[in-house]
Amino acid sequence: MNVNRPADSFMVFPGMKPTYTEDPNRPGEKRLPGFSWLPNRVRHLFISMLGEFVGTALFLTFAFAATQVANTPPNQTVDSPASTSTLLYISLAFGFSLLVNVWIFFRISGGLFNPAVSVALALIGAIGWAKAFLLILAQIVGAITAAAVVSGLLPGPLAVRTRLSSGVSVTRGVFIEALCTAELIFAIFMLAAEKHRATFIAPIGIGLALFIAELAAVFFTGGSLNPARSFGPDVVLGRFDGYHWIYWIGPLLGAIIAVLFYRLIKLLEYETANPGADDDGRETRYDDRYAEEEAGGSRRAGKSYAHAHREESCSLLIGP
């Protein structure tokens, strides 16, 4: 798009000249008028919370709207068995809604939109626990807002709750949610938390990860993978199943599984296993380090051999 950089002014009307103020704590850094009194830490947390609230609300609003459409086709009731085309439609809606909204918000709040993801990132130290707690609150409120918006805008009863299919036990439900959430979170670790040249297109991989996880889970558990996604509609409808807890325990268990595997491959220095895969210089640094270690070991071995050889020669010449 052939457009200029947006002005720093709040809004610019015809005849107005764009204006902005400097951050008193950081000379040269611009800030909108009226917010200069906020400490940077508070401002950053507020921005992150606002981004997570709005981002989660948008992500789930579009996903819920598509789910509502898929679950109430013409001449069918909400409780009719879901067809494979319905399941594909729902999976695509969640995957692509996440892709678009993560890409929009990743520079604002990180684009997490999921309490399980927030916990996982806190466990690996990518964000602090206090920030994670605040983001989780924003995500839950955003999910409730999304469910309320869809319930108010679209006709018919809200049909976006996550429920176990007949024949699926609670135990199976927990592990289905855990496995699919682990896939999603590990994708986030490797594509977004691990910085590389392709990090800017991480939302594509993350959205596709949710898409394939939804394909596997949506028929059996409703494909939550996100405690806020299940909590929001249940709050709006005022209806909680006795097994609602699985949509919290399952994703959190999946987060722990993803964290443990991520820490294992980091401990093993996975960057050295496939040199040049990213071509971002990290593998080269590891290879150089090992090459230096090997060269150093060879030099030490050579010196030891030469020293021993000289001693042996001296003993032969001088005698014992």
Give the tens place of pLDDT for each residue, 17-57: 666 555 556 655 665 556 667 788 898 899 999 999 999 99
**What's the confidence (pLDDT) of residue 273?**
87
Q: Which residue blocks in the chain are alpha helix, DSSP H?
A: 40-71, 84-105, 115-123, 129-153, 170-188, 202-221, 227-237, 246-267, 282-318
Specify the DSSP element, H or E, that contains 31: strand 26-31
Give the tens place of pLDDT for each residue, 249-289: 999 999 999 999 999 999 999 988 888 777 655 555 555 55
Instruction: Look at residue 78 and tell me whether its pLDDT is greater than 60.
Output: no
Spatial separation of the C-alpha atoms in residues 188 and 305, rounded to whole Å: 51
Spatial separation of the C-alpha atoms in residues 317 and 320, rounded to whole Å: 9
Q: Are 252 and 119 in contact (CB under 8 A)?
A: yes
**What's the confidence (pLDDT) of residue 83?**
76
Which two three-digit tokens encode residue 198?
């392709």
CB-facing half-sphere around the CA of 21: CA atoms within 13 A: 11
Spatial separation of the C-alpha atoms in residues 108 and 101, rounded to whole Å: 11
